[in-house]
């Protein structure tokens, strides 16, 4: 199946796409590539959004500095400088690589938690590779964050980030529902549980 066909079917929540993907030999490699691409794009997109947000806050402070106490203005300026320095470190290649390694570790924990929940709570017969494939291809909506890198509207950037993040979770739920015959409420509970548990573990 061609990549553009796969992306289209994932985005339109096709009822059979994940069932087809888990049977293809190359799906795991493709899924990892999609997740990695989405993770890098997401990191850069969030950084761009936060940079623009800081610029916006700086403008507000500049306009309102006469009305604010001098100490408060200095504290805001110091905080902004620290945030800007952290952004510079994100642009460093080694920092970007380390953030992706941390993200991969987080995904591995989430996949393991989903596996355990399916096996011991939902009494299914899960396959780690299948779950990894589903997780990878559910990252397709994250690729839609690319335009954020090319425009400066804070509101629009925030909306795009929010919509793609939620839609990615919807795709994950759809994939798990298809492959493991879950009900909607079971898929939702599984995603919420795995997300919360991975945060606790980390």
Over residues 114-126, mean pLDDT: 94
Confidence band for 51, pLDDT divided at 50, 70 and 90: confident
The answer as to whether 187 is a domain residue is: yes
Whole-model pTM: value is 0.87
Q: What is the pLDDT of residues 135-176, one digit of tens each?
A: 999 999 999 999 999 988 999 999 999 999 999 999 999 999
Residues 96, 43 contacting (CB under 8 angstroms)? yes
Residue 198: predicted pLDDT: 56
Number of domain units in the chain: 1
The answer as to whether 75 is a domain residue is: no
SS3 track for the chain: CCHHHHHHHHHCCCCCHHHHHCCCCCHHHHHHHHHHHHHHHHHHHHHHHHHHHHHHHHHHHHHHCCCCCHHHHHHHHHHHHHHHHHHHHHCCHHHHHHHHHHHHHHHHHHHHHHHHHHHHHCCCCCCHHHHHHHHHHCCHHHHHHHHHHHCCCHHHHHHHHHHHHHHHHHHHHHHHHHHHCCCHHHHHHHHHHHHHHHHHHC
The answer as to whether 180 is a domain residue is: yes
In angstroms, rounded to a whole number, what is the distance separating the alpha carbons of residues 59 and 64?
9
In angstroms, rounded to a whole number, what is the distance separating the alpha carbons of residues 96 and 153?
24
Q: What is the pLDDT of residues 63-117, one digit of tens each?
A: 777 777 777 778 877 888 777 777 666 656 777 788 888 889 989 999 999 999 9
The answer as to whether 34 is a domain residue is: yes
CA end-to-end span of the chain: 37
The answer as to whether 31 is a domain residue is: yes
pLDDT at 130 over 80: yes
Residues 97, 39 contacting (CB under 8 angstroms)? no
The answer as to whether 99 is a domain residue is: yes
To the nearest 10 degrees (0 to 180), the angle between helices 93-116 and 27-64 is 120
Domain extent for 162? 3-52+92-201
Over residues 12-22, mean pLDDT: 95
Residue 201: predicted pLDDT: 47
Residue 202: predicted pLDDT: 47
Q: What is the pLDDT of residues 20-50, one digit of tens each?
A: 999 998 999 999 999 999 999 998 898 889 8
CA dist 169 → 55, 64, 94, 141, 200 (Å): 30, 40, 28, 9, 19
């Amino acid at each position: 199946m061609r990549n553009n066909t796969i992306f289209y079917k994932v985005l339109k929540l096709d009822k059979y796409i994940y069932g087809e993907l888990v049977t293809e030999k190359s799906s795991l490699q493709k899924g990892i590539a999609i997740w990695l691409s989405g993770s890098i794009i997401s990191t850069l997109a969030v950084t761009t959004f936060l940079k623009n947000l800081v610029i916006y806050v700086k403008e507000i402070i500049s306009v309102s500095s006469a009305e604010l106490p001098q100490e408060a203005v200095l504290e805001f300026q110091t905080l902004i400088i620290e945030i800007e320095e952290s952004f510079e470190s994100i642009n460093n290649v080694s920092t970007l690589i380390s953030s992706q390694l941390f993200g991969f570790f987080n995904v591995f924990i989430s996949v393991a938690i989903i596996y355990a929940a399916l096996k011991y709570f939902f009494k299914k017969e899960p396959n780690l590779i299948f779950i990894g494939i589903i997780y990878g291809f559910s990252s397709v909506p994250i690729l839609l964050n690319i335009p954020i890198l090319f425009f400066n509207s804070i509101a629009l950037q925030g909306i795009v980030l929010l919509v793609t993040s939620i839609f990615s979770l919807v795709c994950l739920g759809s994939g798990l529902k298809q492959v493991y015959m879950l009900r909607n409420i079971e898929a939702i509970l599984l995603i919420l549980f795995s997300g919360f548990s991975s945060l606790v573990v980390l």
